[in-house]
Amino acid sequence: MEIFLIKLLQFILAISLLVLLHEGGHFFFSKLFGVRVEKFYLFFDPSIGKWKGSLFKWKPKNSDTTYGVGWLPLGGYCKISGMIDESFDTEQMKQPEQPWEFRTKPAWQRLLIMIGGVLVNFLLALFIYSMVLYTWGDEYIATKDMKMGMKFNQEAKSYGFQDGDILIGTETADFKDFSADLFRDISEAKQVRIVRAGQPMTINLPGDINLLGMLKSSPRFCQPFIPAEIDTVLPNSPAAKAGVRKGDKILAVNGTAVDSWNEFTEQTGRLADQMTEATTQADSLRLRTATIVFQHGAEIKNSETTLNSPDTATIVLTPELQMGVGMTSLLSYYQPTKVSYGFFESFPAGIQYGWNVLSGYVGDLKYLFSSDGAKSLGGFGAIGSLFPPVWDWHMFWLMTAFLSIILAFMNILPIPALDGGHVLFLLYEMLTGRKPSENFMIRAEYVGFGILILLMVVANLNDILRWLGYM
């Protein structure tokens, strides 16, 4: 419960900040051009019966704007006079036009008002990335420094990769670290440069490997090789009862040899899959009973132990079955590369960082239109799970910047009810000199709002199905 609350608080804080600044962008340009803002709200405030839906509201003296906090935490809004938006205030549009209304302003001013939120979110993301680099710098383990190389699945081996290959780069650029960018680069590469047994080599690839398949496959297309050495052992855990100690090395599980944590988690993962077929307590006990061969110093030991079931597990090693040990990590074997930035150096570096994030995100959207891509859509639960289980300001700001870029890009999509839909109609007006009719705009707003509701339902339904174990 504590982990859930920490993630929830980070999610709410990040979203609240981004929504306030996004709507603040609309607010700024509206005030700049003399357009009246009737309401400025964090969260939505739909009325239920006589209750108006506001947890808090305040209207300063001599101000036209009511500020408030709604009860439905799904975003926020800035209600601008004389504009057809998600409020669907059609009665106002039937009244005579007023000089302080959105609809009476020149198209270029209305365009700036509409892109104000997206502009703020995008600039905010670049600023956050810059300040993160200035404050914490950049720290990573370069793939070229991973001298033990990678473990590859069967698909990767079919292209010519071998376990132990050190990944250097593609025909266009070097790899930086082990991240989603590495998978993206490999999926689009015609050639990948590696080092095998000390010798530089080149592997030819088709240039169109399915990125989503690479990321979702189990085991993954590639993973850093990490020896199956024990970092920690919990007291009274299955590993402790089997005689395993810190520094020992796992050699086999149930008669299958393992040389890395990659293979160990694959073996215990198979046991976890079999657990779904267990119908009795005896079946569960039989499946959880494992024979472990491990090396203690110069001595090879063989021991039988019963792995923890999900309800008794305390250290997450695999999703289902647990030994009660902590794995060694890349940091146990490699010295990370550290890059520091001065204040002025951080801005171009932050802009480049943000641009790489945006271009990668936009490039991956093509997978959304596949069946696997649609299943990968995530709602509030998926977004919230991206935050770390402990309060980490470094990760919090990185996630906030990432969400800011997503919010900016999604809002600029040419879908009615989003900022991009209004921008599309404004560009049409500026190019043709003809303004779309109010009836058309209202219908378009309804269609766009329906599309957004459908996407939200699908994304959050995916979250529920994942939680229930159906996806």
Confidence grade of residue 113 (pLDDT, cut at 50, 70, 90): very high
The three-state secondary structure class of 322 is strand
The three-state secondary structure class of 332 is helix
Q: Which of 96-105, 171-180, 329-338, 360-369 has the lowest mean pLDDT?
A: 360-369
Return the pLDDT at 156: 95
The three-state secondary structure class of 375 is helix
345, pLDDT greater than 90:
yes
Q: What is the average pLDDT across 7-18?
A: 88
Quote the CA–CA distance of 197 and 195 in Å, as a whole number.
7
Confidence grade of residue 35 (pLDDT, cut at 50, 70, 90): very high
Among residues of the chain, what percentage have pLDDT more than 70?
Answer: 84
Confidence grade of residue 5 (pLDDT, cut at 50, 70, 90): confident
pLDDT tens readout for residues 273-326:
666 666 677 777 777 777 888 888 888 988 887 776 654 443 333 433 477 788
Return the pLDDT at 314: 39
**For the whole model, what pTM was predicted?**
0.79
Return the pLDDT at 401: 94
Return the pLDDT at 318: 42
Residue among 291, 199, 211 nearest 243 (CA): 291
HSE of 147, CA atoms in CB hemisphere, 13 A:
7
Helix count (H) and strand count (E) of the chain? 15, 17
b/e burial code for range 431-447 (CB count within 10 A of at least 16 → b)? eeeeeeeeeebeebbee
Return the pLDDT at 22: 93
Return the pLDDT at 351: 95
Quote the CA–CA distance of 143 and 366 in Å, as a whole number.
27
Return the pLDDT at 89: 61
Residue among 373, 419, 375 nearest 119 (CA): 419
Confidence grade of residue 90 (pLDDT, cut at 50, 70, 90): low
Quote the CA–CA distance of 345 and 322 in Å, as a whole number.
46
Among residues of the chain, what percentage have pLDDT more than 90?
Answer: 36
What are the angstrom distances between the C-alpha of 282 and each of 49, 121, 286, 289?
A: 56, 56, 6, 11
Return the pLDDT at 118: 93
Return the pLDDT at 315: 37
Return the pLDDT at 55: 83
Q: What is the average pLDDT across 383-389?
A: 72
**Locate tokens 């957004």: which residue?**
452
Q: Are 431 and 425 in contact (CB under 8 A)?
A: no
Confidence grade of residue 350 (pLDDT, cut at 50, 70, 90): very high
